[in-house]
Amino acid sequence: MNRNDFDLSVYLVTDSGMVPDGLTFLGQVEAAIRGGVTCVQLREKDIETKDFIDRAKAVKELTDAANIPLIIDDRLDVALAVGANLHIGQDDMDASIARELLGEDKILGVSVSTVEETKKAIDDGADYVGIGLCFSTNTKVTKKIPKGPRGAQPLLRAIYEKGSDMKTCLIGGINQSNVSRVRYQSGIPQKRLDGVAVVSAIMAQNDAFKAAKDLVTGWNSTPQWCTVIGGKRPEISGLLNHPLIHHITNNVVKNFSANVTLAIGASPIMSECIEEFDELAAIAGGLVLNSGEISQDNVPLYTSALQAYNKHNKPIVYDPVGCSASTFRSNFTQMILVEGYLTVIKGNQDEILTAAGAILGTSGGVDSVSRLGMVELLDIAKKFALSTRSIVVVTGEKDLVVDGVFEGQTDLVDCHIGQQKFQFISGGSPMMTQVTGTGCSLGSVICAFVAAYRDHPFEATVSACSLYKKAGTVAGKLATFKGPGTFQYLFLDALNQYSSGVDTEDADIESGQS
Ligand code: 3NM
């Protein structure tokens, strides 16, 4: 096995404690190898040295036959005894010593979770790093906070900037349902993830062969919900169908958002019943997820909805309402970003900067927001959109819509082709700020348009924002000598009138690509 040329893409890490009754440890490993895993790590925490070596020899026969590497966790003595490779954690032997003792021809892997640990692993001569924690896991007791697929990005950047070709895999809670998302959402334009490491998604399964095969298939597929079809941009003039839009939103705006949804020709449903999410996701056009009214108790409500809509490849429009207001709200937003793929993230400047703050390494304080110019805002929104692969909408006097992929991107690996699209959209009325729900209900319109034009989510989002601004402008003018009450019904009327034929030429749009 060549140290410089091994395939890390679907990396099985063993745990003999979770093999289902009636099945054997070696049987699980053998089935996983048949299913296509590309590396095996033997990880045994409570086993005598002699038994460890015997087990390592038996597994090595299987990995040798398949011509894939066997990597021993932690125990250099066992690795040397059987002529295998080595993986070490931060609490194990120093990687530079391990490299010296292991020799130059064996693969050395290191567990990392920070940029500093990653840089040290390069200097110490590691061939790959296992980056944790991606999602929460029951397999290992750890204090690490799940950072989602995007958690790999600063580490990938550090490896790229050091000019190293060290490989990377993510670990923690990765399974058949999220593996393609992990691959798609983890990379940076200059460097992408080389693989995923899994324990329970194979070892605890009754059919380890199928489990491994499905992981390999998932790793090699672009998630349907984020496929961006190239080619001609559509002329979007209103909704051609009548998508059902599922809302999980706050009580203050439910009625208005439902009316807005109806006004544009879509159908609203307000459900917070987890038991029906899977069925709803199967028939709905998309989900509006608004975190205006959150609590620790309803975390499962949000995560279940994310899973259901991601599973059914339906768009999710996320509104991190007021996430700059408290630590709980800000953390809640980060949890949402970890747990699911979001087609669109929509918020005002404070909200978007707070949501983006963690990954950009800025404090994202509210004070700094008011001082931001358009150029800086655009830069932050573009980086945030690329890191999440979501379309980012920053609402304000001018709405800003930024695409999360580069134009022309058709698969999950060539994320550096073309240019990143963005548009500014002007219009609206100051009276919009006097009617509760006008901010949140833009999410309903975006979701309906994205649901109706599934292959062109960026253009659909721009059209939705244009329609909204235009309706606001018209209603504002007509309500000049009246007040917010009059504005509210005129706004619904205008949305209704223009939704059947929104002419984006009428809205004040400045587009750009860079
Ligand atoms: N290392 P599962 S997380 C072995 O963060 C291990 O370094 C981790 O198990 C790290 O795939 C982990 O069942 C367990 O979630 C991963």
Highest average pLDDT, of 227-241, 269-283, 485-499, comes from: 269-283
pLDDT band at residue 372 using 50, 70 and 90 as cut-offs:
confident
pLDDT at 471: 95
Q: Which of 287-291, 358-362, 420-424 has the lowest mean pLDDT?
A: 358-362
CA distance 203 to 29: 8
Task: Name the more confident of 386 and 344.
Answer: 344
- Say what the ipTM of the complex is: 0.99
What residue has token string 């609206």? 428
Per-residue confidence (pLDDT) for residue 358, from 0 to 100: 44
What pLDDT shows up at residue 511? 55
Q: What is the CATH number of domain 10-221?
A: 3.20.20.70
Tell me the catalytic residues. 440
- What separation in Å is there between the alpha carbon of 242 and the centre of ligand 1? 43
Rg (CA), the chain: 25
Structure tokens at 147: 């950072």
Q: Which residue has the higher pLDDT, 513 or 282?
A: 282
Point out the ligand 1 atom lying closest to the alpha carbon of residue 144.
5
Q: Which of 275-279, 472-476, 499-503 has the lowest mean pLDDT?
A: 499-503
Q: Residue 196 in 3-state DSSP?
A: strand
The pLDDT, as a whole number, for residue 231 is 54
Pick the residue with more confidence: 239 or 354? Answer: 354
The confidence score (pLDDT) of residue 223 equals 74
For 488, phi and psi rounded to 5 degrees?
-60, -50
User: Does the structure show a pLDDT above 50 at 90?
Assistant: yes
Mutate to test the pocket of ligand 1, among 110, 142, 145 (most ligand atoms within 8 A of CB): 142
Q: Domain 244-513: which topology? A: UDP-N-acetylmuramoyl-L-alanine:D-glutamate ligase (3.40.1190)
The pLDDT assigned to 3 comes to 86
Mean pLDDT for the stretch of residues 55-74: 98
Residue 30 C-alpha from the chain's centroid: 32
Are 504 and 467 contacting, i.e. CB atoms less than 8 angstroms apart? no
One-letter-per-residue 3-state SS of 74-97: CCHHHHHHHCCEEEECCCCCCHHH
The answer, yes or no, to whether any atom of ligand 1 lies below 6 A from the CB of 173, is yes
The pick from 140, 143, 174 for probing ligand 1's pocket by mutation, whose C-beta has the most ligand atoms within 8 angstroms, reads 140
Q: Is the CB of 201 under 6 A from ligand 1?
A: yes
pLDDT classification of 106: cutoffs 50, 70, 90? very high
CA–CA gap between residue 364 and residue 356 (Å, rounded): 8
Within 10 Å of residue 367's Cβ, how many Cβ atoms?
7
Give the bridge partners for 513, in sequence order. Answer: 421
Q: Quick one: pLDDT at residue 367? A: 39
> What is the Cα–Cα distance from 489 to 497, expressed in whole angstroms?
12
| Pocket lining: 133 vs ligand 1, CB cutoff 6 Å | yes
CA–CA dist 199, 194 (Å, integer): 17
Of 486, 467, 484, 478, the residue nearest 427 (C-alpha): 467
As given in the structure block, the two tokens for residue 61 are 């026969």
User: pLDDT, tens digit, for every residue of 403-456?
Assistant: 988 766 555 555 555 688 899 999 999 999 899 999 999 999 999 999 998 888
Ligand 1 centroid distance, CA of 171 (Å): 5
CA 37 to chain centre: 24
Q: Is the pLDDT of residue 396 over 50?
A: yes
For atom 3 of ligand 1, the residue with the nearest CA is: 172
Determine which of 146-160, 180-194, 497-511 has the lowest per-residue pLDDT on average: 497-511
151 lines ligand 1 (CB under 6 A): no
Residue 446 in contact with ligand 1 by CB distance below 6 A: no
Helical (H) or strand (E) element with 244: strand 244-248
> Secondary structure of the chain: what % helix, strand, coil (to 5)?
45, 15, 40
Q: Where are the beta strands (DSSP E) in 340-397?
A: 344-348, 391-395
**So what's the pLDDT on residue 227?**
54
Q: Is 12 in the pocket of ligand 1 (CB under 6 A)?
A: no
Helix axes 208-219, 25-35, angle to 10 degrees: 30
Confidence of residue 22 (pLDDT cuts 50, 70, 90): very high
Percent of the chain with pLDDT over 70: 89
Q: Are 463 and 447 in contact (CB under 8 A)?
A: no
Quick check: 41 and 71 in contact, CB under 8 A? Answer: yes
Q: Give the C-alpha separation, 320 to 330, whole Å.
A: 8
Statement: residue 203 has pLDDT above 70: yes
pLDDT at 472 over 60: yes
Cβ(138) – ligand 1 distance below 6 Å: no
pLDDT tier at 357 (50, 70, 90 boundaries)? confident
Sign of CA dihedral 292, 296, 301, 306: positive
Domain assignments of the chain as residue spans, ordered by start: 10-221, 244-513
pLDDT at site 364 = 42
Asked whether the CA dihedral 489, 247, 426, 503 is positive or negative, the reply is negative
Q: For 296-310, how does the pLDDT look when each residue is reduced to its tens digit (9 = 90+)?
A: 999 999 999 999 999
Band of residue 236 on the pLDDT scale cut at 50, 70, 90: confident
Angle between helices 153-161 and 115-124 (to 10 degrees): 40
Distance CA 225, CA 247 (A): 19
User: How far does residue 347's CA lie from ligand 1's centre (Å)?
Assistant: 34
pLDDT of residue 363 exceeding 50, the answer is: no
Q: Is the CB of 92 under 6 A from ligand 1?
A: no
Q: Report residue 397 as tokens.
A: 């006097």
Q: What is the pLDDT of residue 454?
A: 86
- Other CB atoms within a 10 A radius of the CB of residue 141 amount to 6
Burial 63-73 (b: 16+ CB within 10 A, else e): beebebbbbbb
Q: Whose Cα sits closest to atom 5 in ligand 1?
A: 132
Residue 197's Cβ-count burial label (10 Å; 0-12, 13-18, 19+) is: buried
Q: What is the mean pLDDT of residues 116-135?
A: 97
Q: Is 144 in the pocket of ligand 1 (CB under 6 A)?
A: yes
* Separation between Cα atoms, residue 233 and residue 247, nearest integer Å: 28
Tell which residue, 148, 132, 167, 141, has the closest CA to residue 15.
Answer: 141
- Ligand 1: residue of 10, 45, 133, 139 to mutate (most ligand atoms within 8 A of CB) is 139
- Rounded distance from Cα 128 to ligand 1 centre (Å): 16
> Is the pLDDT higher at 476 or at 409?
476
* φ, ψ at 282 (rounded to 5°): -70, -30
